Amino acid sequence: MNSNIAASIRTKRLASLIPMLSMLIPEDAILSEPEQLKAYECDAFTTMRQIPLLTVLPDTIEQVQHIMRCCHALDIPVVARGAGTGLTAGSMPVENGVLLGMSKFNKIHDINLHNRTAWIDPGVRNQAVSDAAAPYNLYFAPDPSSQLACSVGGNVAENAGGVHCLKYGLTVHNILELDVITIEGERITIGGQALDAAGYDLMAVMTGSEGLLGIIVGIRVKLLAKPASARVLLAAFATIEDAGNTIAEIIGAGIIPAGLEMIDQKGIQAIEALMHAGYPVDAAAVIICELDGSVEEVEDELTSVITILNRLNASDIQISTNEAESKRIWAARKAAFPALACLAPDNYVMDGTIPRRALAQVWTRINQLADEYQLLVVNVFHAGDGNMHPSILFDSSDEDQHKRANDLGTRILELCVHVGGTISGEHGIGLEKINEMCLQFTGAEISQFHALKNAFDDKSLLNPGKQIPTLARCTEFHAMHIHNGEMPFPHLERF
């Protein structure tokens, strides 16, 4: 858009919006100065940035409703933001739109011990829920690597998982009820306190919708009892193939670990340099396996897993004997992405999910693609459920590196689709993967996504331009995205 036109639109919108907002929103909760707005220009996907028209920081549900009504009346877009830890530009502002910061919604209102639930604000940190439930021997299962900082509202928006989602599920499997404000300012309840609710499963629709359908202002989460026993194993492998086969063997034996992770040599070395956790730096790969349950169940599964590890040439097997040792192993794993910051200025974290049978094949191919694009890629997998996080390391100030990183990311997501997987496991789509949605879905499917969006937000004011590509965008993407004279996945419908 022409800068003069954009400035004119901005001025007019501010002149109309600020007086309306000020009828209910305190002056200090409406941020309009450039230095204030700069802090909200991006989420953790820092290579995409946009200054918002305003940032508004409400602290009551009534204020959120008022903001929605004002923006709906003036046709002004709204982007909700939690803790800003997202990795797909999902909470990046849109030009001349409002950034709705939910950080003041940070209270845990109730812990119900009989039903094992908690009613919380969307801005409550993930780890804070488990901390509050710990005195009752309960915890909240989803545990993204950013759990110290990320908000549960953001977890719902992206349907976040974490290292324990293999056994305990994603966010959608660990919530019962949502309090939601629509774009018109209406307050609705989705789900309920019981395990099931009548009607369509709108809980599943809202979870993972990335702020396109409504603003979450309350969440009822499930709390689980802490298992009587938990043991963590770390095992080293000389080859990627043995590590991949071990994952398949563990699951094939009917064992469902609480967590089952895999890290390549470059990741091991980066983590060990930062955390000094005793990871074997000469290994081609390590597997981390956590078993939990009753004491008898854990010991029985531990024996079975050790047998599998030995049969598939594992070495340097470490087995935790207490909670402190388990925390040491997991703390190092969760420090993987901070550790990679020591290797390059920027990290493009992928989030494809593949069938477990394809782990070794995809891992090998990713390393070949990394060589082709002359970029360092570190592989960290939630291997038990096939959720991969290849990290492409580059310098965004180098335009050529930046382009190669983006192109490599697309090739990796193509590969995931090709082997029967999907382009996202827990990070969402946002703007980062919106083009790759055109690889995953047909025109008819994308049209249905738009129909669902329109049912909630017919003016397309909530987080516009994210998650769901237009059919025109897909046509343009496919026209540009040809390898060796051939379209990827020629069996898919084109736009």
**pLDDT over 60 at 43, yes or no:** yes
Q: Is-same-fold flag (229-338; 340-480)? A: yes
**pLDDT over 80 at 99, yes or no:** yes
**pLDDT over 70 at 492, yes or no:** no
Rounded to 10 degrees, the C-alpha dihedral 333/335/336/340 comes to -160
**What confidence tier does 493 reach under pLDDT thresholds 50, 70, 90?**
very low
Average pLDDT over residues 328-337: 92
The model's pLDDT over 288-323, given as tens digits with 9 standing for 90+, comes to 999 999 999 999 999 999 999 999 999 999 999 999
Average pLDDT over residues 156-165: 95
Parallel/antiparallel/unpaired status of strands 376-378 and 259-264: unpaired
pLDDT the model gives residue 488: 58
Provide the percentage of residues in the chain whose pLDDT is more than 70. 97
- Is the pLDDT higher at 485 or at 169? 169
The model's pLDDT over 421-443, given as tens digits with 9 standing for 90+, comes to 999 999 999 999 999 999 999 99
Listed residue (175, 154, 153) closest to 90, CA to CA: 154
pLDDT the model gives residue 495: 37
In CATH, what class is 108-225?
Answer: alpha beta
Average pLDDT over residues 258-283: 96
pLDDT the model gives residue 1: 62
Provide the percentage of residues in the chain whose pLDDT is more than 90. 90
Domain locations in the chain as residue ranges? 3-101, 108-225, 229-338, 340-480
**What confidence tier does 486 reach under pLDDT thresholds 50, 70, 90?**
low
Average pLDDT over residues 63-67: 98
**What confidence tier does 197 reach under pLDDT thresholds 50, 70, 90?**
confident
- Is the pLDDT higher at 194 or at 156? 156
The model's pLDDT over 20-35, given as tens digits with 9 standing for 90+, comes to 999 999 999 999 999 9
**What confidence tier does 198 reach under pLDDT thresholds 50, 70, 90?**
confident
Around Cβ 445, how many Cβ atoms within 10 Å? 11
The model's pLDDT over 142-152, given as tens digits with 9 standing for 90+, comes to 999 899 999 99
- Is the pLDDT higher at 332 or at 194? 332
Sequential DSSP letters for 148-200: TT-BHHHHHHHT--BTTHHHH--GGGGEEEEEEE-TTS-EEEEE-SSS--SSS
CA–CA dist 393, 267 (Å, integer): 12
**pLDDT over 60 at 485, yes or no:** no
CA–CA dist 221, 119 (Å, integer): 7
**What confidence tier does 489 reach under pLDDT thresholds 50, 70, 90?**
low
Rounded to 10 degrees, the C-alpha dihedral 138/140/144/147 comes to -70
Cα distance between the two ends of the chain: 26
Q: Are 78 and 181 in contact (CB under 8 A)?
A: no
Q: Are 161 and 426 in contact (CB under 8 A)?
A: yes
> 340-480: what fold?
Alpha-Beta Plaits (3.30.70)
Q: Are 461 and 72 in contact (CB under 8 A)?
A: yes
Highest-scoring range by mean pLDDT, 78-82, 243-247, 333-337, 478-482: 78-82
Average pLDDT over residues 84-112: 97
The model's pLDDT over 404-421, given as tens digits with 9 standing for 90+, comes to 999 999 999 999 999 999
pLDDT the model gives residue 245: 92
> 229-338: what fold?
Alpha-Beta Plaits (3.30.70)
**What confidence tier does 494 reach under pLDDT thresholds 50, 70, 90?**
very low
Average pLDDT over residues 238-266: 95
CA–CA dist 132, 70 (Å, integer): 36
| Residue whose pair of structure tokens reads 């100030």 in the numeric block | 397
Domain 3-101 CATH assignment equals 3.30.43.10: yes
pTM: 0.93
CA–CA dist 161, 354 (Å, integer): 15
Distance, C-alpha 40 to centroid of its chain: 19
**pLDDT over 80 at 463, yes or no:** yes
**What confidence tier does 115 reach under pLDDT thresholds 50, 70, 90?**
very high
pLDDT the model gives residue 128: 98
